[in-house]
């Protein structure tokens, strides 16, 4: 019996230019969405935000996925930055203050369960040429890289990606009207998000909109 590889359980075929291509041939774009403090808004602002989001959902002619990643905040990079600043200081008093602050942050983090949440919208597009008969499907041939015609393969990908980008623009405009900021993930960021999903016990550097 052949041994199973971890990658056999990951439905991702390839990530190209931030576009996630699944085994079924669908193309996906992951958008990172900045959060807002809804409770600090006035009642009228809250109703306006809800109304805009409702209008956005009603305007969609295709499905989207809204994903939330929640995990304990990893403060180790921040502690490492403080340690570096402490070492660079010539003033003993400032060194002592930084050290006390580091201990406070560490103790506070150990006693309080501080959670880090990230919000994503996944936009998908499945080329209409996909069918159950993969042998006659040109896009499936592109995925399997069985064709020697690289230009044709690139054309198929670019055509499908163009359709996906149109959907991304619609989603970005719709959600943007609620006051939220969005940023499409590049290849490295998409890999990191997927790695976190399939390796929930691991910690990586944070993803930023900047």
Residue from 130, 128, 123 nearest 164 by CA: 123
156-185 pLDDT, tens digit per residue, is: 888 899 999 999 999 999 999 988 889 999
- Spatial contact of 167 and 175, defined as CB atoms under 8 Å apart: no
pLDDT in tens, 127-166: 876 444 444 455 555 555 444 444 457 788 888 999 999 9
Residue 148 neighbours by CB distance under 10 Å: 7
Contacts of 83 by beta carbon, 8 Å cutoff, 6+ apart: 102
Cβ within 8 Å of residue 180, ≥6 positions away: 33, 34, 35, 36
Q: How confident is the model at residue 76 (pLDDT cuts 50, 70, 90)?
A: confident
Q: What is the model's pLDDT at position 137?
A: 52
Q: Which of these, 208, 210, 206, lies nearest to 76 by C-alpha position?
A: 206
pTM over 0.85: no
Ranges of each domain in the chain: 6-73+115-198, 74-113
pLDDT digits (tens, 9 = 90+) for 5-58: 555 567 888 888 899 998 888 899 999 998 888 888 899 999 999 999 999 999
Region 189-205 average pLDDT: 74
Report whether 30 contacts 20 (CB < 8 A): yes
**Which H, E and C letters describe the chain, residue by residue?**
CCCCCHHHHCCEEEEECCEEEECCCCEEEEEEECCCCHHHCCHHHHHHHHHHHHHHHHHCCCCEEEEEEEEECCCHHHHHHHHHHHHHCCCHHHHHHHHHHHHHHHHHHHHCCCEEEEEEEEEEECCCCCCCCHHHCHHHHHHHCCCCCHHHHHHHHHHHHHHHHHHHHHHHHHHHCCCCCEEECCHHHHHHHHHHHHCCCCCCCCCCCC
Residue 28, pLDDT score: 94
What is the reported pLDDT for 107? 86
| Residue 152 half-sphere exposure toward CB, CA atoms < 13 A | 11
Average pLDDT of every residue of the chain:
80
Of 2, 1, 27, the closest CA to residue 12 belongs to 27
Q: What are 60-69's pLDDT values in tens digits?
A: 999 899 998 8
């Amino acid at each position: 019996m052949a041994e199973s590889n971890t990658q056999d359980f990951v439905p991702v075929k390839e990530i190209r230019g931030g576009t996630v291509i699944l085994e079924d041939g669908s193309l996906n774009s992951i958008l990172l969405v900045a959060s807002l403090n809804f409770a600090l808004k006035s009642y009228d602002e809250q109703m306006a935000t809800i109304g805009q989001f409702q209008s956005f959902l009603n305007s969609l002619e295709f499905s989207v996925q809204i994903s939330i990643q929640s995990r304990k905040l990893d403060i180790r990079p921040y502690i490492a930055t403080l340690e570096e600043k402490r070492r660079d200081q010539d003033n003993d008093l400032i060194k002592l203050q930084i050290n006390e602050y580091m201990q406070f942050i560490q103790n506070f983090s150990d006693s309080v369960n501080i959670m880090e949440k990230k919000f994503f919208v996944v936009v998908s597009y499945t080329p209409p040429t996909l069918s159950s008969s993969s042998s006659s499907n040109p896009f499936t041939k592109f995925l399997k890289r069985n064709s020697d015609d690289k230009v044709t393969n690139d054309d198929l990908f670019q055509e499908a990606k163009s359709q996906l980008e149109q959907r991304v623009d619609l989603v970005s405009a719709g959600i943007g009207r609620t006051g939220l900021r969005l940023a499409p993930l590049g290849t490295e960021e998409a890999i990191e998000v997927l790695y976190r999903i399939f390796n929930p016990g691991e910690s990586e550097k944070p993803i930023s909109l900047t």
